[in-house]
Amino acid sequence: MKQFNIQGFIVGILLCLCMQAVAQDPSGGDKDHARMKDKIKSAEIAYLAKQLDLTPEEAQKFWPLYNNYTHEVELLIAERRRNRQQDKKDDAAARQALEKEMDIEQRMVNVRNRYKQEFLKALPPRKAGSVFKAEREFRAQLIRQLKERNATRGPRRLRP
């Protein structure tokens, strides 16, 4: 009888470890995440294209710049996320994390200022000035839609 309980216990632990590995498997959940990210990116491009009303010549200059800009911003956001996840057990670690956060914020401002200048080279000032505004509007719209969708679905149930 004891042998069976020990085996059951070991099988239970192995099942938990396998389920955890499957939950973290990049081939499953990350594919859905990547698909959703691609859909959002496509919607953002369509929104910006409509808002900015780019001519073909402007679009040819703008989109490579915008793609580089978003790549740099995404790298900073990922760095910020990693910084926030670090354990801050003591005051020294918390102070260091705060300094890192402020550094990331400053670098974000620097990136936006640099690309503002690049957008002004590629677009008329009226359109270049609308890039960041249109980007903010798109994010606000996306967040609003996600909140509405989550509200209609109701609270999520935890799986057993």
Instruction: Say what percent of the chain tops pLDDT 70.
Output: 78
Three-state DSSP class for residue 101: helix
- pLDDT, residue 20, reads 39
Tell me if the pTM is above 0.85.
Answer: no
Span 83-92, average pLDDT? 83
35-47 pLDDT, tens digit each: 988 999 999 999 9
Say if residue 59's pLDDT is above 60: yes
Say if residue 58's pLDDT is above 70: yes
Say if residue 150's pLDDT is above 60: yes
22-39 pLDDT, tens digit each: 344 445 567 888 898 899
Report yes or no: 23 and 29 within 8 Å, Cβ to Cβ: yes
Highest mean pLDDT among 5-9, 31-35, 74-78: 74-78
Report yes or no: 120 and 128 within 8 Å, Cβ to Cβ: yes
Angle between helix axes 56-85 and 29-52 (nearest 10 degrees) is 140
Span 96-118, average pLDDT? 95
CA atoms within 13 A on the CB side of 135: 14
